[in-house]
Structure 1
Amino acid sequence: MVRPHWVASVVVSLLVSVSSVGALAFTQSREYNVHYVKVSLATTATMCAASLSVFLLLIGEQSDSAVYIFSVGAFSLCILVLMITYALVPMPLYIVVAICFSYSIVFEILSAVLIPTLTATVVAVRALLQLCVHLVGLHTRVMTEIGMRNTFFKVGQSLMVRRDLEVEKQLKEKMIHSVMPPKVADWLMATTTEEDDDSATPLEQRKPSTSPRPSQMIFRPFNMHRIENVSILFADIVGFTKMSSNKSAEQLVGLLNDLFGRFDYLCAKLGCEKISTLGDCYYCVSGCPEPRPDHARCCVEMGLGMIRAIGEFDEDTDESVNMRVGVHTGTVLCGIVGTKRFKFDVWSNDVSYANKMESTGKPGRVHISEVTHGFLVDHYHMEEGLPDLNRKTYFIRGRKVAQQMSSRHSWPHTIGSAETGKTIDTRKISCPSNQPGDIEEEEVAPMLPPAHRHSSLSTLNSSRKDSGIRSRQSSMQDTLLDMPTPLYAQRASGYCSSYTSVADTGRSSGSSLRGYSIFVDPALMLNESLSRLRHLRKQSDLQMIRCIQQDACTTDYFIRPPVNPVTLFFHDEQMERNYRHRLHHRDLAPTMASASFTTYFDIFVALGFYLAIMFACFVLFDTPLSWLLFCLFATCTHLCIFMLCIREILATRGHWVADCLAQIYRYCTEWYPWHVVGLVLVSLPIGSIFSNFTCAGVLSTPERTNAFCYVVFVSLLHFSNFTQLNFWLRSMLATCAGVVLALLVGLPACPCPLKDPARNVTQPMVISEHGVELPGVSFHRDSYSCNQSAIYEIVLHVVLNTVLVWLLNREFEISYRLSFHGSAMAARDEQRIQAMKNQADWLLHNIIPRHVAEQLKNTSKYSENHRDAGIIFASIVNFHEMYDESYEGGKEFLRVLNELVGDFDELLSKPVFRNVTKIKTIGSTFMAASGLNPKLRRENPHPFTHLYELMDFALTMQQVIENFNQNLLEFNFVIRIGYCYGDVTAGVIGTTKLYYDIWGDAVNIASRMDSYGVPGRIQVPEHCLQVLQEMYVFEPRGSMYIKGKDNMNVHLLVRKKDKVLYRILPSTHRTSLPATAAAEDKEKTPAAAQEPLEEQQQQQQQQPQESTSVSCEKEEEEVPL
């Protein structure tokens, strides 16, 4: 009978081994990812069938000893199968639960039928123990699934955030490059990232420079370089004042954006670096900050290209404007001055001379200096111009080698049609190549029919509704959103989304995703809205999956986790400290993957498991005093821990006030106390079993011995609970429990009876238990407890169960640590990307005011009229007296200017000047305005609060100059300020270089008030007195000639009136509210009161606006150094 059993066992074992090896090999193929459920199902079915086939060994078996041994071994095998299926088989949870419960039912039925020694009590207890196994298995499976999915999500989220971080980094670089060259940008990025790792605070939020500085920080950060052989180009639009006199704000900004966009394109193609636009004046350099030998030719070609571009602009818009271009070559100082609304700029006497070359030039001609002429060799036909200060000048008549300059670069340009409202491609603007010898002709689109040209300007709004910065996408936007990876295209965010979010799909708001919007139209049906949201969520999940698939390091992350292979501690010591410190911290958004939920779940499972084991021991064995005392201790311990958990759960929902229990809970959940508490809880079931062990109570009958082994094997599984505990401690405790079981069963702690060799029978013997003789308790040598082969099998199953516990504990802790690591990495990357976004916002708001940027996010455009806006120009009139290029090329004098402008910039951070906005610095001239934020104007207590704040700002600038002069040796700066208020137009223009500026007749007058002002005084035109004389005292200066305005009556500020607060002045002149504010207030006004507002707005629209530009003559006076 033995041989067939062995043969069958070997055959079944071989079949199972072959199927397991085959399944393992199949997991390495690509087909496994498609059929993994089928493979897992087949493997599990084979394993279950093989384990159930052992019942065939009982057929015909007559030995009770063999049946007893089989009962324990089969039950242990059942536990192994169930735990392996729950913990390791990759199948859906419902399939796993169905298989495991079906397997348990079949197993217990076969056991009850084929094992006659099982009593009803034992069968019931075995069913209870089966439920305990399922409880531990389900807990293991659920927490494993949660951990794996959470880890997958966190790793995917971290990778997506990392990708976003790369996009944000590129975005940041592009944004910085929009106001300065890469060489200067590198310095600024290095400066702004010095504190990123610690505080990630933008520069404007750092310690003000007016606070005491360390001895090594006497001056603000300053970056200025002296570069020789640089060509400077100044170009002014001739006839722009006439052209802009009858244009609306949107048309004016659209025209400038269109024209300057063409110039920006030329700059990029011809190797020039755009510096800035000053009203209708455009200037750039070549050979700076990166030197190049053909700098002079680049600027000349730039000038010729600008003349050709403005000619084509005239054809497209039916205008008659021209360009006057001046070029000079020399030495410049290039860098950044100021801390707010800064930009890359150049300074030197040569820059001033280049400006003069433009002002003395001729429309449609490029006027060059003698120095520039020397760099051009024989490339151009020239004619001499009028000499200036004994310097020869020349006009470019044409190229000598026409075929080398015939190459033309072109780009698309669109305008609208009045009749159709459609966008029509007009001719592409052409420009000469910056590489002589290249001969290539790009495609030229058909020109707009003449019939449409006369009406094209009036219809710019229809084709260029985003006439601000949206007329042509900026280079930074194109670089980010046109990346080949869909992930980049759909997740480019921050500043990028504010310009391009949904414009390409025809939507006006709602999303940072290109190609679709997350905005749900209220008019849509509910089902359709939910369907769209589900689709967006699915798209996000697909992006994360694609991101993980594309990352080659993700596989290594799961195969070789960042932990020590022996201790499972993190390689990063800081990460290990954070893991121990934050192990039980309450999450802001509790989920099943949170540490607090895991803790509660572990404790509740431990309580249920302990109650089941205690009940099993009570039913199967006697109740000695040691067991009763242990159960009392264990029950009290569980109840205390359970109450702490209930109290914490209620406290999180606000149903329990803080008390001493909270302190106890926090202490118990610290790293080391929690290990003590956890190890106690995980050991209570096995402790209650061993406390119930007696020779008479356990080893008296085979049934009781088997039952004892049942509960011990099941209790060993409980050491896989509490995944937050160190796996070494739990596994070592499980090993100790297994060793104790083997010692209790295998060692002769309870003696076996003597055997009569003659009759081969066992003599009954009396055993004393606690001093009490128990007659009739006998042991047979053939019985289970005294059978050596049975002991060996017990030890074998103890080893198998213990190895399984070690394996599960190790995998669970790795999974839990990976989940924590993924969460920590995602949180760290989110902080980094948030810091990058903060820096991007800071940089953006140094280019464009905050309220303008917010409007751009919603409308993708910005051009706006502002009524009664205040403007000042403040010039340091004697800075050129200090400036001397013979000392370090003038660099140190610009450092002084940087400190002074920085002090002016700091005034803008004060709440009393919240209505004041810096526009720009022009050489040593500071330009600011007020009343450009409609929201702030509506919040002001008086309609002219912003005008008073601007005047107070001008007075404070004089005080800053006085304080600054105290630190200068043998030199005092003198400031001259011009003030005016009136209607202005604000807008954002440019393509590669975004630029916020204002235009209007009031801007010109303020500039003239400065140019024709008195040093040390503030000068205003006469019409400003009707508003300002309520707060300030003026003295008349008389009538004087102002260029472009003939004679004007001007006044000088004497002082501010005493004890007069503009915040409590009577609210007069309410009709002077800005047009934007009036339009928004109209929505809140009753219908009866809206008619006067509408009539007033119609009258305003009928009046032509005198929107002119800031002439370059202003810069001719103030830019020279």
Structure 2
Amino acid sequence: MSFMLMIFSTFALTFLVAFLGVLADYTIGFDIILTRILMVLLVNIVGSLVYYPTEFVQRKTFHETRKCVQSRMLLDKEMHRQEKILLAVLPKNIAFEVKKDMQDTHEERMFHKIYIRKYEDISILFADICGFTNLASEYNPKDLVLMLNELFARFDKVASIHQCMRIKILGDCYYCVCGVPEYQKNHAINTVEMGRDMIEAIRLVREMTLVNVNMRVGIHTGKAHCGVLGLKKWQFDVWSNDVTLANQMESGGLPGRVHITDATRRYLNGAYILEEGNGASRSKFLEKEKIKTWLVVDRSPDYDIVSQETANHPMTIPWKSTRGISKQERLTGMSTRTRGASTRNGLSEEEVLVENVDSHLRQGIQAIHQENWKSMYCQNWSLKYKQVRVENKFVRMKYKDIPFQVTLYVAIVAICIGIKFGLMNLMVFSFIPQAFILLTSIMIFILTRLLMSLIYFSSFIVLITVKLVAIDKYDTLFSVYANFCVLSCLTLLLVVFSTRRSELISRYDFIWKLQALDEQLQMKRKHEQNRSVLENILPSHVAKHFVEDATSVSKLYHESRDNACIMFATLTAFDKFYIECDGNNEGVECLRLLNEIISDFDQILDRDEFRKIEKIKTISTTYMVASGLAGEECADNSHVEAIALFARELLLKLESINMHSFNDFNLRIGINVGPVVAGVIGSDKPHYDIWGNSVNVASRMDSGGVAGRIQVTEEVKSILEPLGYQFECRGQINVKGKGMMTTFFLLPPDDCQCELYK
């Protein structure tokens, strides 16, 4: 474009010289012609000096706008990854409610917000791997996590097929519900099919590993409160007496069988052949509650479940039709898994991003050239922005260059005055008004700080030519002063038109850039909001890994830690406190108090001395944390001391809660230290957890502990005792899976006033 303008300017200059040579009066001397040519050249030089800065500014604006658009699209892409992970872990209604409340953090509440909803007519499934200890002994920790990841990923896919929602993974235990968050008419049948497919999956594991493992499945149908508790590491969970019963159905079941209650049987409508389960003979809880149970034998020949599944899910491959697929693929669902980053038309992610940015900019440029674009943002005559805020920003930007403009104006005036007096003896006196016109136009350009392109200078030259040829030679009616007035008016119109157009372009550029920046800032706010929610589900370094790498979701994420410290703390006697009746909204008020306790525990983690501690999860009324997981140096064992101090703080906080709520809750705490494997399992529904013998021992320190005491292993004692902590030897106790172990109680400090801490 600039090359064409230069050609047009040269053509105009040639046109001027030709007409001066052919039609000019014979009295005009060579010096006048030379002077006029020099003046035209100077005008073109000034035009060039004006045009190229204009071009530079516009290109800079375009480049900055492009960077903003590209940055916004990258943020948008990352935000979609965050949304995908978030909605995979939390139901949509709870996720949106949580994000909305995070925006309203200025609101002060007497109690912490609780995100719970009641669901009726749902089926709850608990499944546990029998013989998991034998299976774990055949694998090193990393391979065990890999196997669990593929197994539970398969469970997640099966759950999706049967409209079940996975709730949690607790070590080797998996539980889910059907009928949440949306009601499912066949929730009982779907849950039974889910259990049967899980047993088939574990059978494949047994065949591949030659380890005697099996799956015990328990199902109950009823109602539950579903939601999240606490302020950190949210995990969707369910609470009710029916959930407790479903859990007992699993523990009272048989390996390789689906164990259901009579309540579930009534919803099956004869879809399965059943036999009596005799669960009361294997579970004291079922015996006490007089629960009648059944075992699923097979599908009923009179009920066509397969055709209903195929109608609802035509792309689903049933287990029995996978003979041509390897056991590994049947276990992991590799035949249906999509790996790698998504591309479009064979383009890489970077090329797709560039294409999207270019398309967005083209649409923006087309919008600028539409007539309604100006009326949308600017006033018709003054060209001021309709929004005062935008106009003030634009004016402040213009005023930054005033000192430079004044300096430039004074310099040009000085140069022009010097040229005038220096060339006065060489020029015809009648030419002075024309020079004054040119000088006036230049000053108008500088004063308005509005840029002109070469084409307007070329038009200006043509007007000068017309004046010289037509008016000066043939028109004798006008005096020199009349000529001066006519040319001044024409020049003024030209300058006003061009400067108005330049002003409009300048305002277009500004509003376009401002819009891009506003969109980017808005996207950043949403991005930070999503990241905050996501970091309440996964540890910050793990969330960053999943969000920044598009292929991470389909990959196993794990990391080994040689010296992690693990703590379990269980709130005792809450099962007696929890009652479902009309007076407490069928248990909601009990859960509200549990939410207050967990939230207060979470707030303690915000203190600087506990920044090394990572909350892992809550398991019903058990609070689990660990330290030494983020990869920081822990040679001084400060992370172990932080866990010990945190355990003491929990007891102090619970005593304060008891005093204000008139309750007598207590904590049973267990601590251990040792190697663990931390990782994320479940490709579609990422779940962060830690595994290893050290975790199991820490859990046994809690479950085999004493209320009001902090029970630790000998390894923890050997670390803390040199730091001044005192212990009481409990002696040897029988630890499940470990045999006899010597354990110790961490004693309170001498100045401790906590009645709970014995």
> Structure 1's 239 and 843: CA in aligned 2 closer, same or farther, altered over 3 A?
same
> Structure 1's 471 and 808: CA in aligned 2 closer, same or farther, altered over 3 A?
farther
Which string of whole-angstrom CA distances, capped at 9 and with x for unpartnered residues, describes residues 404-454 of structure 1? 33369xxxxxxxxxxxxxxxxxxxxxxx658499998798474449xxx9x
Q: What is residue 595 of structure 2 aligned with on the other side?
A: 898
Q: What is residue 482 of structure 1 aligned with on the other side?
A: 342
Which aligned pairs between 1:906-945 and structure 2 lie closer than 5 A? 906-937=603-634, 942=636, 944-945=637-638
Q: What is residue 979 of structure 1 aligned with on the other side?
A: 671
> Structure 1's 1041 and 558: CA in aligned 2 closer, same or farther, altered over 3 A?
farther
TM superposition shift of 1:347: 1.0
Q: What is residue 222 of structure 1 aligned with on the other side?
A: 114
- Matching residue's letter, 2:421: F
Which aligned pairs between 1:1018-1029 and structure 2 lie closer than 5 A? 1018-1029=710-721
> Structure 1's 94 and 541: CA in aligned 2 closer, same or farther, altered over 3 A?
farther
- Matching residue's letter, 1:848: L
Is 1:820 the counterpart of 2:510? The answer is yes
Q: What is residue 960 of structure 1 aligned with on the other side?
A: 653
- On the 8 A contact 2:146/2:556 being kept in 1, the answer is no
Secondary structure in 1 aligned to 2:535?
A: helix
| Distance (Å, rounded) in 1 between the aligned partners of 2:571 and 2:383 | 67
* Pairwise CA RMSD: 3.9
- TM-score computed with the length of structure 1 as normaliser: 0.58
TM superposition shift of 1:560: 2.2
Which aligned pairs between 1:238-257 and structure 2 lie closer than 5 A? 238-257=130-149
Question: Paired residue for 2:125, among 212, 226, 233?
Answer: 233
TM superposition shift of 1:710: 3.8
Is 1:554 the counterpart of 2:367? The answer is yes
User: Among the aligned pairs, what percent are the same residue?
Assistant: 32
> Structure 1's 896 and 843: CA in aligned 2 closer, same or farther, altered over 3 A?
same
Secondary structure in 2 aligned to 1:187?
A: helix
Which aligned pairs between 1:376-525 and structure 2 lie closer than 5 A? 376-386=268-278, 387=280, 388=286, 389-401=289-301, 404-406=304-306, 435=312, 444=322, 446-448=324-326, 482=342, 484=344, 490=349, 513=350
| Distance (Å, rounded) in 1 between the aligned partners of 2:237 and 2:397 | 50
TM superposition shift of 1:794: 5.2
- On the 8 A contact 2:82/2:531 being kept in 1, the answer is no
Is 1:134 the counterpart of 2:34? The answer is no
Q: What is residue 80 of structure 2 aligned with on the other side?
A: 170
TM superposition shift of 1:282: 0.6
- On the 8 A contact 1:1040/1:1050 being kept in 2, the answer is yes
Which aligned pairs between 1:642-681 and structure 2 lie closer than 5 A? none
Is 1:1043 the counterpart of 2:736? The answer is yes
Q: What is residue 192 of structure 2 aligned with on the other side?
A: 300
Q: What is residue 720 of structure 1 aligned with on the other side?
A: 445
Is 1:804 the counterpart of 2:497? The answer is no
TM superposition shift of 1:265: 0.5
Question: Paired residue for 1:869, among 564, 584, 605?
Answer: 564
| Distance (Å, rounded) in 2 between the aligned partners of 1:96 and 1:921 | 72
| Distance (Å, rounded) in 2 between the aligned partners of 1:261 and 1:604 | 71
Secondary structure in 2 aligned to 1:889?
A: coil
Q: What is residue 351 of structure 1 aligned with on the other side?
A: 243
> Structure 1's 236 and 328: CA in aligned 2 closer, same or farther, altered over 3 A?
same
**Structure 1 portions without partners, runs of 5+:** 1-90, 196-206, 208-213, 409-431, 465-469, 491-512, 514-535, 586-595, 623-700, 728-737, 743-781, 1060-1121
Which string of whole-angstrom CA distances, capped at 9 and with x for unpartnered residues, describes residues 182-206 of structure 1? 12112122223447xxxxxxxxxxx
TM superposition shift of 1:855: 6.1
- Matching residue's letter, 1:547: H
Alignment length (residue pairs) = 715
> Structure 1's 555 and 165: CA in aligned 2 closer, same or farther, altered over 3 A?
farther
Q: What is residue 389 of structure 2 aligned with on the other side?
A: 574
| Distance (Å, rounded) in 2 between the aligned partners of 1:913 and 1:471 | 42
Which string of whole-angstrom CA distances, capped at 9 and with x for unpartnered residues, describes residues 681-710 of structure 1? xxxxxxxxxxxxxxxxxxxx9943343134
Is 1:851 the counterpart of 2:544? The answer is no
**Structure 2 portions without partners, runs of 5+:** 281-285, 453-462, 753-758
Q: What is residue 574 of structure 2 aligned with on the other side?
A: 879
| Distance (Å, rounded) in 1 between the aligned partners of 2:99 and 2:648 | 35
> Structure 1's 1036 and 482: CA in aligned 2 closer, same or farther, altered over 3 A?
same
| Distance (Å, rounded) in 2 between the aligned partners of 1:187 and 1:331 | 22
TM superposition shift of 1:915: 2.2
| Distance (Å, rounded) in 1 between the aligned partners of 2:335 and 2:578 | 41
TM superposition shift of 1:354: 0.7
> Structure 1's 441 and 903: CA in aligned 2 closer, same or farther, altered over 3 A?
closer
| Distance (Å, rounded) in 1 between the aligned partners of 2:176 and 2:124 | 6
> Structure 1's 471 and 985: CA in aligned 2 closer, same or farther, altered over 3 A?
farther
Which string of whole-angstrom CA distances, capped at 9 and with x for unpartnered residues, describes residues 858-889 of structure 1? 89653233223211110110222332221112
- On the 8 A contact 1:702/1:783 being kept in 2, the answer is no
Which aligned pairs between 1:55-454 and structure 2 lie closer than 5 A? 91=1, 93-101=2-10, 103-104=12-13, 107-108=16-17, 110-111=19-20, 114-115=23-24, 116-164=26-74, 166-194=76-104, 217-386=109-278, 387=280, 388=286, 389-401=289-301, 404-406=304-306, 435=312, 444=322, 446-448=324-326
Which string of whole-angstrom CA distances, capped at 9 and with x for unpartnered residues, describes residues 476-524 of structure 1? x98xx5375889x72xxxxxxxxxxxxxxxxxxxxxx4xxxxxxxxxxx
- Matching residue's letter, 1:877: T
Question: Paired residue for 2:413, among 560, 585, 610?
Answer: 610
| Distance (Å, rounded) in 2 between the aligned partners of 1:482 and 1:257 | 22
- TM-score computed with the length of structure 2 as normaliser: 0.84
Which string of whole-angstrom CA distances, capped at 9 and with x for unpartnered residues, describes residues 309-350 of structure 1? 222344455544221111111121111111111111111111
| Distance (Å, rounded) in 2 between the aligned partners of 1:188 and 1:552 | 39
Secondary structure in 2 aligned to 1:935?
A: coil
| Distance (Å, rounded) in 2 between the aligned partners of 1:163 and 1:472 | 32
- Matching residue's letter, 1:884: I
